[in-house]
Amino acid sequence: MGRKAIQARRVNELLLKIASSLPPTVVYQADKTRSRVRSFVTSFPIKIGQNLKKSLRNSIPQIVAIVVAFLVGAVVLAATGYSPIDAYTRLLMGAFGDSYGIGQTLAQATPIIFTSLAFLFAFKCGLFNIGAEGQLLIGGMAAALVGISFTNLPIYVHLPLALLAGAAGGALWAFVPAVLKAKLDAHEVITTLMLSYVALYVTSYMVNYPFKAPGIVAQTPFIAPAAELPRILPPTQLSGSIIVALIMVGITAFVLQRTTLGYEVRAIGLNATAARSGGINVKRGMILALVISGTLAGLGGAGEILGVERRFIDHFSPGYGWDGLAVALIGGLNPFGAVLASILIGALRSGGLVMNRVTGVPLDVIYVVQSLVVLFAAAPQLMKSLSKKRAVNWQTANHILTKIRSVLKKVGDRLRRR
């Protein structure tokens, strides 16, 4: 503590010395800036506090969904003969208990942040982009190709170029359904979904034939070191990709709430007729929204390749694109909510592994809980009524729960005896 105080005083003295040697106008300017910064900083916590209160109130259904999902998961655990408390403690400790756990949790969350943003952006425009998986794969492939194609570029050129390529790849993959939608009224659910399969097999072909690295595994050679996103918390898989992701969260939220583009996108999503009548070019808005959505997913793919895999491995994505849809819903279709929901899913994944290793609880239980969260979050009306105290008849609920528990226990016992 003493050392820190001394350091701070030294810095202060140094600053004072510099300040006194500066011409008065500069000092005046600096003073003004400082007071501005201070007023901003002091007002910030209040603003955040107000917003937090509001968003907490808005996210009650989501929170209830998560709690209910864990409760039902506990029943499943108990029924199959495991201690829910023990399992959940391990899960929690595994996900957040040490820096390794936290790193892995965030690493798992990173690609899902991108894909949930992607789903969310298109959704705000009233479009269901369920093809984030394909956009992510193409983005990843584009980034990988840029990564392996150049060997002597400096990092400040190569890395941004690779990221841009990823973004462009995702954008391109979303542009096709966007144009089909705008010009031919082809439903984006079908086109984005189908293009996901095309992406899956196109990338599979590319790593199996033209860009295959020597060896048995279907994968490209390693990308050049200059294209790598640095790891943040080795030995975990957490990489600079999460920083890109968080920047994108900020940009997405800003674009949606504070720009003309975001205004138009939301207007189209809420009422396309009124938007058109108000002079908004609906087709253009839809194309832009889908392309931006694809860009976000493509960046997510690039982040995984440049930060984690360092090469394109066939089937590297365990379905990040599909997770994005669910996570966007759990996050209440809000960019910041999407981050929290992504971290939740990331924690389930990384903590689940630990839980599995220590307690022997099968990973499937984790997937059950994850699915339940999505299921309950997708029924906001149900959760809203559950979150109203009056609507919950605890006695009945308890009764039903004990019934379910006894039935499941019998089934579990029988299964184990076999």
Q: Give the interface with another protein as residue ranges (CB under 8 A).
A: 258-261, 263-264, 266-267, 270-271, 273-281
We find the least distance from the C-beta atom of residue 275 to another protein, in angstroms, to be 7
Give the nearer residue to another protein in terms of CB position, either 127 or 227. 127
Secondary structure class of 90 (helix, strand, coil):
helix
Give the nearer residue to another protein in terms of CB position, either 121 or 211. 121
We find the least distance from the C-beta atom of residue 293 to another protein, in angstroms, to be 19
CA dist 62 and 70 (Å) reads 12
Distances from the Cα of 85 to the Cα of 89, 211, 313, 373, angstroms: 6, 49, 38, 18
Give the nearer residue to another protein in terms of CB position, either 105 or 252. 252
We find the least distance from the C-beta atom of residue 256 to another protein, in angstroms, to be 11
CA dist 412 and 225 (Å) reads 51
Give the nearer residue to another protein in terms of CB position, either 124 or 231. 124
Token output for 158? 């190569």
Secondary structure class of 217 (helix, strand, coil):
coil
H-assigned helices in 185-240:
188-208
Give the nearer residue to another protein in terms of CB position, either 124 or 311. 124
CA dist 31 and 169 (Å) reads 47
We find the least distance from the C-beta atom of residue 412 to another protein, in angstroms, to be 45
Give the nearer residue to another protein in terms of CB position, either 15 or 274. 274
Distances from the Cα of 163 to the Cα of 103, 232, 337, angstroms: 22, 18, 25
We find the least distance from the C-beta atom of residue 248 to another protein, in angstroms, to be 18
CA dist 128 and 112 (Å) reads 17
Token output for 408? 């499941």
CA dist 28 and 23 (Å) reads 9
The number of residues making up the chain comes to: 418
We find the least distance from the C-beta atom of residue 262 to another protein, in angstroms, to be 8
